[in-house]
Structures are given as structure tokens and as C-alpha cells.
Structure 1
Amino acid sequence: MAGAGHPAGGRPARHPAGGSRQVAHKAARIVAAEVSRFLGGKPLAHCANPEVLAA
């Protein structure tokens, strides 16, 4: 986070690469694949907390 004297005024600075069309398309493909895996009863490839799925 930028300090109060910085042009960002103490707000978190945005990284331009995260807002690209390529990133949005890749994220959409990953989400679609994960939903498909979940609905098919397969383990998720990108699960941050798999213990919640065991319940």
C-alpha cells in the first residue's frame, strides 16, 4: 500500500496486468473447468481449502 504522501494517496496500488483481457479469459476458463470437475464429482485442481468439501 502506498503511503499518504504517495500519488495513490494511501490506497492500494492496482497492478495493470491483473486487468487484462487475457487474464479475464484465463480466469473464466479455470472457473468453468473447476465447476465441471465439481459437478462431475472429481477433485478440484485449484482448491485453497479442500477440507470444506469433505463435510
Structure 2
Amino acid sequence: MIDFNDQYHILAMALRLGKATNFKAVGKKGKENYQFLFSKLIKMIKIHFLLKQSKKMT
């Protein structure tokens, strides 16, 4: 499990807003990092889709 502070760091790096010194792309830590990023990406897409649908209904 990625701790809360590391989550922000990983998201910042993915958006090119942070330094990539602690980001691991391989091994167990790399798997956790990418699973976290993709889960956040999926949530953002779902939120965007729901917002878009609600705008169409109004």
C-alpha cells in the first residue's frame, strides 16, 4: 500500500510537476506505483464522464 504522502508525489511526477527521484518503474514498488496511477486515472475518467452526463441532462 502506498502511503498518502507518496500518492501525491507519484501523481505530481506523472503530471511532470515533481521530481522523479523516488519513482520506481520496475519490481514490486513499480507495480504498486503503476497500479495506483491507473486506478486514479480510471477514477478521473469516470468523474469526467459523470460530469459530462449531468451537464447534458441540465
- Shared fold per TM-score greater than 0.5: no
Q: Which bin holds the TM-score, normalised by the shorter protein?
A: 0.3 to 0.5
TM-score, scaled to structure 1: 0.44
TM-score scaled by length of structure 2:
0.42
Higher relative CO (Cα under 8 Å, sequence separation at least 6) belongs to: 2
Larger gyration radius, structure 1 or structure 2: 1
